[in-house]
Amino acid sequence: MRHYPRNSPQAAARILAVTLLADGHVSQMEMDALDQFDAHAQLGISRQALHTVIRGVCEDMLSMSDLRWGDTCKVDQRTLGMLLNDIDDVTLRQKVLMLCLSVIEADTHVTEAESHMFEFVLSNWCELQPMTPMH
């Protein structure tokens, strides 16, 4: 995978791109959701720059796979963890999480792969705080 500076708009866009590709394809509804929610503006980059990052992620994933269709768009957990570590700004994480959720829900069908992807992002970025009993 290409390297982007920590907390950069491109590093954030890459997480969004991996989410877009989690189910093996990008639907027009998902791309429309990016525009509807002004994902590029929320991440602080141009629309063209966002599409360049998405295209770069596609190229990187194709070069990493053995070109079996079912595995082409999957990122292993170790690599995904490294990509997630490039974002440690809490506000940026929240934006990326909301954008990822918007993209996942855009086509009104949440696949198992999309669900696993989102759960993995949540488990890496959100530390669960123990509940304190009410007295």
Per DSSP, helices labelled H in the chain are 9-20, 28-36, 39-43, 47-64, 77-85, 90-106, 112-125
Task: Give me the residue label for tokens 């929320």.
Answer: 42
Q: Any idea what DSSP says for residue 50?
A: H
Q: Over the stretch 84-124, which tens digit does the pLDDT of each residue have?
A: 999 999 999 999 999 999 999 998 889 898 898 899 999 99
Tell me the C-alpha distance between 103 and 27, whole Å: 10
Confidence of residue 63 (pLDDT cuts 50, 70, 90): confident
Copy the structure tokens of residue 111: 């696949």
User: How many residues are there in the chain?
Assistant: 135
How many domains are contained in the chain? 1
What domain range includes position 79? 9-125
Residue 72 lies in a domain: yes
CA angle 87, 89, 91 (to 5 degrees): 120
Tell me the C-alpha distance between 56 and 28, whole Å: 18
Residue 52 lies in a domain: yes
Copy the structure tokens of residue 131: 């509940």
Confidence of residue 128 (pLDDT cuts 50, 70, 90): very low
Residue 4 lies in a domain: no
Q: Is the pLDDT of residue 130 over 80?
A: no
Residue 60 lies in a domain: yes
Residue 135 lies in a domain: no
Residue 132 lies in a domain: no
pLDDT score of 78: 87
Residue 134 lies in a domain: no
Tell me the C-alpha distance between 24 and 9, whole Å: 24
Confidence of residue 14 (pLDDT cuts 50, 70, 90): very high
